[in-house]
Homo-oligomer: A and B are copies of this chain.
Amino acid sequence: MKLKIAVLPGDGIGPEITKQAVKVLKAVAERFDHDFQFEEAVVGAAAIDATGDPLPADTLELCAGADAVLFGAIGHPKYDNDPDAKVRPEQGLLNLRKGLGLFANIRPVKAYPKLIDHSPLRPERITGADMVIYRELTGGIYFGKKSTSEDGRSATDVCTYSVDEIERLSHLAFKAAQKRRKKVTLVDKANVLETSRLWRKTVANLSAEYPDVALDFLFVDNAAMQMILDPTQFDVILTENMFGDILSDEASVIGGSIGLLASASVGEKSAMFEPIHGSYPQATGKGIANPVASILSAAMLLDHFGLTREAAVVRDAVEESLHLDVCTQDLNKNNYYSTEKVGDFLEGYI
């Protein structure tokens, strides 16, 4: 298969980890005789520094013309505490999502038995947890109208959802559930929000098309509790943009392995693959960042194009590295390997 892959390393540890994922994808291409072409572009703080724009037109064009985007991380502390900053690295990511129409953010979360001791939860709570979160990514309060009153004394954000936006994501979630444990949990705040009531109604109607999938509803505050009390109850979680942001980050730490979590953001035409973790500025350039989340994002990329055997080999390589403790220091305090060395091991396995 021939694939054109846009590589957006971004900020902080983004470049170091993305480099390892590209290495692994090249090894896959060689072993399975594919033709993967890679082209790099800037985004985020790196792009602001270089061009003044967190998502330069060239970058968006490259991504729109590619089969897939491999994304590193975004964000730099110098922009975080300045509420008056006119450009922000995060805008690069938000504009990319909107520009490519990536309406579905898909985040699998799984408790790796080997890593259970790293979880902040007691082992008996987390053992067996295996869920995937379908978060709406181009609507809601993220992309609604924003305004500040003329005197600067009040500010407004608008949250809107349409039946179409809800349906296209929900179909993906129900289809995923059909291949898993056949349960979808819709997370909303239907006891307060009008948009949530539209979600509940729309998803309840649509569920009739999937009689083999059980549909469950949870208020977001309750979901935030259940995620800790009993994460094994979840199979597919379906939710809107803001709730998905909060819940998926909460979910990401319960497995004790945020350095292993991958995500896909997909739309009608484009697809982007990126680790859950952020740009981790304190670790930049030290060779201590865990490249596995980026490499497992590459595995999701392979799966997305039907290359399931290839994806399985990458995942096997990761399992093997965990088994042999070929891990960065977040997972192996005493005998840890560098970012590069973990990448080398995984490349070698393939």
Contact = CB atoms under 8 A, between A and B. Distances in A.
Interface string A85-127: 0001010001000000000000000000000000111100100
**Tier of interface size on chain A:** 35 or more
A204 interface: yes
Nearest to A142: B192
A311 to B, nearest CB: 27
Interface string A232-269: 00000000001101111110111000100000000000
Contacts of A207: none
A229 interface: yes
A227 B154 CA distance: 29
A228 B249 contact: no
Contacts of A225: 249-250, 252-253, 258
A190 interface: yes
Interface stretch (A65-73, A161-169, A331-339): A161-169
Given A83-B204, A250-B225, A195 B120 contact: no
Given A120-B228, A155-B197, A229-B253, A191 B80 contact: yes
Given A84-B201, A146-B194, 20 more contacts: A83-B201, A94-B192, A120-B121, A120-B122, A141-B141, A153-B162, A154-B161, A155-B195, A156-B158, A156-B194, A157-B195, A158-B159, A189-B242, A220-B245, A220-B246, A221-B246, A224-B224, A224-B246, A225-B250, A243-B246
Contacts of A144: 156
B154 A160 contact: yes
8 contacts: A81-B217, A83-B198, A154-B163, A156-B195, A221-B249, A225-B253, A228-B253, A242-B242
A163 B153 contact: yes
Contact of A160 (B94, B141, B155, B161): B155
Interface string A158-184: 111111100000000000000000000
A155 to B, nearest CB: 4
A200 interface: yes
Contacts of A217: 80-81
Contacts of A249: 221-222, 224-225
A224 B250 contact: yes
A51 interface: no
A194 B148 contact: yes
A289 to B, nearest CB: 18
Interface string A293-320: 0000000000000000000000000000
A193 interface: yes
A250 B253 contact: no
A147 interface: yes
